[in-house]
Amino acid sequence: MEKALVLFFGLLVFTSCDTINNDVVQEDECDLPSELIQEIASYQPTVNRIIDSVTKGKHRGQPYKLLEDFIDKFGARQAGTKNLEDSIDYVFDLMRKYNLENVHGENVTVPHWIRGHESAEMLQPRKAKIAVLGLGGTISTPPEGIEAEVLVVRSFDELNQPNVSAAAKGKIIVFNNDYITYGKSVVYRSQGAVKASQHGAVAALVRSVTPFSMYTPHTGHQSYRDDVKKIPVASITVEDAKMLQRYQDKGIKAVIKLHLQSEHYPDATSRNAVGEIVGSQKPEKVVIVSGHIDSWDVGVGAMDDGGGAFISWYSLALLKSLSLQAKRTLRVVLWTAEEPGFKGVHQYEKDHKNELDNFTFVMESDEGVFTPLGIEYTAGVRGGCVLKQIVKLLEPINATSTKYYDSVGSDIAIWARKIPTASLYNTNENYFWWHHSDADRLEVLDPDNLDKATAVWAAVSFIIADLKDEFPREFNDISTLSNSKIIETLNTLKQKPTR
């Protein structure tokens, strides 16, 4: 059942950058009470304090500097490793140093898969090294490796054609699917091994899920099935996938020798990292800000999701330093083991099932921390109108836009259309250039952007937590919305497959 849930939510979640979607409500369609509009507008001096403190004052550059120290100390933070747990302890110390309350960890059982030696070499029609990166959870090849002819396909439909399926037995299947969007293309990474094995392949190589490559393979989670023989699976670069396609199109036989070594250890115990600013009047009501603290084992996880994690906990540190205590509790949660299948948030939902009705609003940054533009959200028309009024106050940093989606975030998509949710809307069009690759380094982020994003995160979460009335807990019935209220929407929940 757990695997089914992981796959379901894996196929359900993210891609704000996959589909351009106009906001669900237009400005002239909002009909909020004047008292509420005036109440939100009254926060402008507070928002200005927040912005000035982190973009001009003593907090300027601190989110980046603290992230830099963290990244340089720990690097990659893979689920199941001691390094991840040490990094969580380090963040606990930071939260306490900045006077957050109720700092603690909540245990989560996580998988523990470790990459070993990996190599691939093309033996025919010429000898050449092939850059390869095992996909998460892959089994090993035999010690001597696997040497086999390559069969290149562009899609699952092509593989299913009778003549292609018959030719697949004993081959290494290469999936050379074009990048369309992350949500559409990543299915080849998550399901490639299963699909290839069903046709008798001995291994699978998947073209990296990226729109741009400088000969960089990209890893990520993949899911085996208990009823299908497990075969080794890895990613290769866009360049090599295209090269192998050219050989095949010309009738030239290609042979690859593949070595993948990995270890599957018993499940380990990790922790969701939690800190709070307890509410002054309605402490049982909670607004959550979040990111995930784990990463893949390649690169250093600065972008995915070090930046999102650090603007989340530091936004509370910023509010605390400004003596800003909202009526409701502000809670930061740094999810663990997001990459191997959203383990942290699933456990959190189980542990807090009796508290979910008190979650006023949930925010997550896991789409990069680049130039902030505003807020992406999942809420009803009235909630969208409230957010429009709030982000108007962010005009000093030009972050006044809102975008509606049926589902936002990665972990928090588990609550899509159950709890109002939001993600950071930012200029992340190049996010998948570096995603899950050795190129995910600190240098793709910018200190000023982290400052501004922290301001967005702190201001929006504080206002929602401090408003007199609860944030509207309603959702749009897409089937009944008029064209004047929705210009373009998704027909199904947006995807952010298992990462």
Q: Which residue in this structure is represented by tokens 């401090």?
A: 466
Q: Which residues pair with 119 in a beta bridge?
A: 259
Q: Determine how β-strand 282-292 pairs with β-strand 328-335.
A: parallel
338 included as an active-site residue: yes
Determine the Cα–Cα distance for residues 497 and 499; give it in Å rounded to an integer: 6
CA 449 to chain centroid, in Å, comes to 18
Taking CA atoms, 16 is separated from 37, 370, 423, 427, in Å, by 28, 14, 9, 11
Q: Which element (helix H / strand E) includes 173?
A: strand 172-175
Tell me: cis bond preceding 420? Omega within 30 of 0 counts.
no
Determine the Cα–Cα distance for residues 152 and 165; give it in Å rounded to an integer: 11
258: left (phi over 0), alpha (psi -120 to 50) or beta: beta
Q: Determine how β-strand 328-335 pairs with β-strand 172-175.
A: unpaired
Burial label, 452 (beta-carbon count in 10 A; 0-12, 13-18, 19+): buried
Determine the Cα–Cα distance for residues 28 and 441; give it in Å rounded to an integer: 43
Catalytic residue among 118, 276, 338, 367: 338
Taking CA atoms, 85 is separated from 88, 158, 193, 325, 340, in Å, by 5, 44, 30, 30, 16
Q: Are 218 and 182 in contact (CB under 8 A)?
A: no
Token pair in block for residue 330: 């502000």
**What does the CA dihedral 411, 12, 136, 344 come to, rounded to 10 degrees?**
20
The b-or-e profile of 482-492 (16+ CB within 10 A means b, else e) is: eeebbeebbee
The residues assigned a catalytic role are 338
